[in-house]
Amino acid sequence: MKKSIVFVGMLFLSVSFYAQKTIVLSDSLAANSDRLPVKMGTQWFGKIWKFKFGEYVVASSKMGWTNTSTKGNLFNTKTKSKTTQKFSFTLAGPGTDIANVNAASNIESSEVHSLELFTNLTIGTDVTLNQSNNFSAYIRINGDTTEGWALLMHVVLEFDKVTKAESLLTNGTRKIYLYNVTSNDKGEDDRKYPAMGYELRENGKAVAAVQFYGGGLMGTNKNIIWLSKDADPAFRLVLAAALTAVLQDKANAMAF
C-alpha cells in the first residue's frame, strides 16, 4: 500500500513538472533563436533588478520614486488617480557595446468606492471603471544621438477587461510589433494561470520574445528571452535592452 502511495505521489510530481510550459513561439523563432533564461540577481534600493541573460547584463541602473496623486469628490465615492514610475539603466552586451535606456510608466485610473453611512451599513461597491497604462522606453547604443529606438506600450482596461492593447518598438523607420502570447495558445496548457509574454515581429517575422511570467501559482522569476540568430549584434542589443525594460516594468507592477 505504501509503495502504491509513493508511486502515485511520484507520478503526480512528474506530471506537475512536465506541465511547466513556456510561451508558444512562432515555429521560425523556436527553430532559429538563442533561448536565454534570465537571472534576476538582486535589486538594491534605488536600483532595478540586476538582470543577466546570456552575454547581456545590467551594468548600472537607477530607480526613481513612485509618485501617486489622487483626486476625488466630496465623499471620495469617485476618484481619479495617477501613478508614475521612472527608471534608467545601461545594458552591456557582447564586446564593448552598451545600450542606454530611459523608461517611464504612467498609470491613470477612474474608480468608484463604497460609502459607509453608519457602522455596518455601507452602500455601493469598489469598482475600477477604467485604467490606462502607458509605458515607454528610449534606447540609444553607445550614446549615439543620431539614432534612437523607442518602445511604446499602451493598454486600456474597462472593468478589468482589456479593451485596447498596442505595443511597438521603432526607430522611426523600422516597426516591430509586440504580440501577447501564452503557453496555452495551442490549448496545450490547462493550468488556470498559463505562462505569459510577448513575441516581437517585424513584417510578420518573429525576431524576439520574452516570457515575463512562468505560469502557475509560482510563476515569477521564471523569465526567458529569445533572440533571433539572424539579427545582427547591434539589433540584438536593442532587442535585449527593450525586453529588459519590459521585465523591469512587469516586476514593478507585481510589487504593488
- DSSP structure string for 224-248: EEEEETTS-HHHHHHHHHHHHHHHH
- Residue 120 neighbours by CB under 8 Å, 6+ apart: none
Q: Assign residue 132 a region (left: φ > 0; alpha: ψ between -120 and 50; beta: otherwise).
A: beta
5, part of any domain: no
Structural domain total, the chain: 1
Q: What range defines the domain where residue 136 resides?
A: 21-255
| In a domain? residue 51 | yes
Evaluate whether residue 90 is within a structural domain: yes
What is the distance between the alpha carbons of residues 66 and 255, in angstroms, rounded to a whole number?
11
Task: Encode the chain (256 residues) as per-residue pLDDT tens digits.
Answer: 444 444 334 433 444 444 448 999 999 999 999 999 999 988 899 999 999 999 999 999 999 998 999 888 877 778 899 999 999 999 999 989 999 999 999 998 888 877 776 677 677 677 777 888 999 999 999 987 778 999 999 998 887 788 888 999 999 999 999 999 999 988 888 888 899 999 999 999 999 999 999 888 777 778 999 999 999 999 999 999 999 999 999 998 876 5
Residue 212 lies in a domain: yes
In a domain, 14, yes or no: no
Q: Is residue 101 part of a domain?
A: yes
Establish if 145 belongs to a structural domain: yes
Q: Is residue 162 part of a domain?
A: yes
